[in-house]
Chains A and B, each alone.
Chain A
Amino acid sequence: MGLENLTIHELRSKLDSKEVSSVELTRDVLNRIKVTDGEINSFVSLTADEAMLAAEAADKRIASGDIAPLTGIPIAVKDIFCTKGLLTTCSSKMLSNFIPPYDATSVAKIKEEGAVIVGKTNMDEFAMGSSTETSFYGPTKNPWDTSRIPGGSSGGSASSVAADQCIASLGTDTGGSIRQPAALCGMVGMKPTYGRVSRYGVVAFASSLDQVGPMTKDVEDAAILLGALSGHDPLDSTSINCEVPDYREMLTGDIKGLKIGIPKEYFIDGMDEDVSRSVTKSIEDMAALGAEVVDISLPHTEYAVAVYYIIAPAEASSNLARFDGVKYGHRAEGLTELIEMYKKTRAQGFGDEVKRRIMLGTYALSSGYYDAYYLKAQKVRSLISDDFKKAFERCDIIVTPTVPSPAFKIGEKSADPLQMYLSDIFTISCNLAGLPGISVPCGFSEGGLPIGLQILGKHFEEGTVLKAAHAYEQATDWHKRKPKF
């Protein structure tokens, strides 16, 4: 029936009017996955049987009038979220046999609404990467060009939405891992304010940066899914207790007088011409809708990648200490000495990029180097946050490209970690400052690859970011284009 092509809000009315059932919809989605995933590799594991049961339950709920925004909607979940009774691998050999006895709060929340989980999506191992190439389960392909990467680390969550293998998905974003793949796959991805969505049950990478967010086909769906995920959770001590507005109500289409800041540091020499052209045109489009364009400066932008590659690996080296072959996951066989067992287990269980980051982080935190690296990075993090505070005195949102260039070829950057790290140059500052940010489609390269526009907002002002993104999206039709896959 082709129901997999539709959005949450389109399906909501069809489901509620009984024009279609969740069982029919879920069958279409599972069939689409079956036909396409051999080539794209969006999924680490499928949950077809559980999904059909959840769809039947959703249809009963709808029939009884007990309807929530996500009831009966097929959703894919990044394989970093603990899902009770379902394999959760983080795309690592280390967790290739891990079956959590509990659900992450985000997963519990969408299940309570009656969402249908269709599978767990592929990612860079432990979310460390920008291309989904570091997965133990092989790379995911970009549906727009299968010789190219989908971005990362939430690459499977992005490709599955772009290829209509689900209606929406959950991702996580530590340095751009939702927004960057959303841009490269031509769909919408949002990182909320740090603390807006619970991190409970999400395998931790860098705890002061990680945030859960929605990945969807349009901005209205992002507003719906963000609403379902947001809110205080006593199980996450960094979850903030503040009111969650009705994000959908804020999508008025009216951005007259909204001040959009354009940071000169994000429009650098040597940037890809297609990206530069598309983003410049988007800013003109927003001005034509009545927004006021303000030139701003974020002077410490050039230091963000360096700060990130101290702080994120440092936190990761500590978080990943728990994978020691004792409580869960892989254990090296046949060893009778404890330290040796730890070392061999970790040598066998982790891939190259994860080892690289654990080493970098352990080094940065080790005695004699802490002040020079970790403390220094935390101080420069303050300078980056202050840049945003000052900039937001003069504007309501900040508009930039999401990524400096369209999707690169599989294998193109895997031999040079530093080049790979620099592809996150426009997304990292947002995590360091804890701000909300979204990527929306804003054009295509000459070669037909999607380009993303990033919109950043003030702490807890996701509504303003969504409103601006929605007004822009409704004035264009980039989000309606689909890959010919």
Chain B
Amino acid sequence: MKIQAEEIRKVAHLARLELSEKESQQLTGDMNNVLGYIDKLAELETENVEPTSHAVPATNAFREDICRDFFSAEEGLSNAPDSEDGSFKVPKVIE
């Protein structure tokens, strides 16, 4: 299954990445190359195999819901590219 340039544009939109024409072309080649290699997985019969998401079995880790000190809102905003009145500031979303 070969990826075409149109597919690359769609995936780039999903990934919120702007790609130059040159980058799109390069990525189309690279991804087809890597996915071609990955296609070897199709050799294996896996219908009755359970998937593994974590290699070391662990159940939900619950803890008591208690307040503890953490960093302040000011510290939380200290790396924000833009902020105002204790909030993160972004370009207008709603007209």
Which residues on A are within 8 Å of B, measured CB to CB? 97-102, 193-195, 208, 234, 237-240, 300, 302-303, 305-307, 309-310, 317, 321, 324-331, 335-339, 341-344, 346-347, 350, 352, 355-356, 358-360, 362-363, 366, 373, 375-383, 385, 417-418, 421, 431-435, 459
Closest CB-CB distance, B53 to chain A, in whole Å? Answer: 6
Name B52-85 residues within 8 Å CB distance of A.
52-56, 58, 60-61, 63, 71, 75-76, 78-82
- The residues of A that contact B81 with a CB separation of less than 8 Å are 325-326, 328-331
Q: Is the interface of B mostly helix, strand, loop or mixed?
A: loop
A342 to B11 alpha-carbon distance, docked (Å): 15
Is B40 within 8 A of A335, CB to CB? no
Is A356 within 8 A of B30, CB to CB? yes
Is B40 within 8 A of A336, CB to CB? no
Is A434 within 8 A of B27, CB to CB? no
Q: Is the interface of A mostly helix, strand, loop or mixed?
A: helix
Is B55 within 8 A of A194, CB to CB? yes
Is A356 within 8 A of B27, CB to CB? yes
- The residues of A that contact B23 with a CB separation of less than 8 Å are 352, 355
Is B54 within 8 A of A309, CB to CB? no
- The residues of B that contact A195 with a CB separation of less than 8 Å are 56, 58
Is A433 within 8 A of B55, CB to CB? yes
Name B10-43 residues within 8 Å CB distance of A.
11-12, 14-19, 23, 26-27, 30-31, 33-35, 37-38, 40-42
Is A336 within 8 A of B92, CB to CB? yes
- The residues of B that contact A350 with a CB separation of less than 8 Å are 17
Is A194 within 8 A of B93, CB to CB? no
From B41, B61, B82, B93, contact of A338 by CB (8 A)? B93
- The residues of A that contact B88 with a CB separation of less than 8 Å are 326-327
Closest CB-CB distance, B30 to chain A, in whole Å? Answer: 6
Closest CB-CB distance, A125 to chain B, in whole Å? Answer: 15
Determine which residue in A310, A325, A356, A359 has the highest number of CB atoms from chain B within 10 A of its CB, and name it: A359
Closest CB-CB distance, B68 to chain A, in whole Å? Answer: 10
Given contacts A355-B27, A417-B34, 18 further A-B contacts (CB under 8 A): A102-B71, A208-B53, A303-B44, A305-B37, A330-B81, A346-B18, A347-B17, A347-B18, A352-B23, A355-B19, A360-B31, A375-B51, A378-B53, A379-B52, A382-B51, A382-B52, A383-B46, A385-B52
CB of B86 closer than 8 Å to a CB of A: no
- The residues of A that contact B93 with a CB separation of less than 8 Å are 338
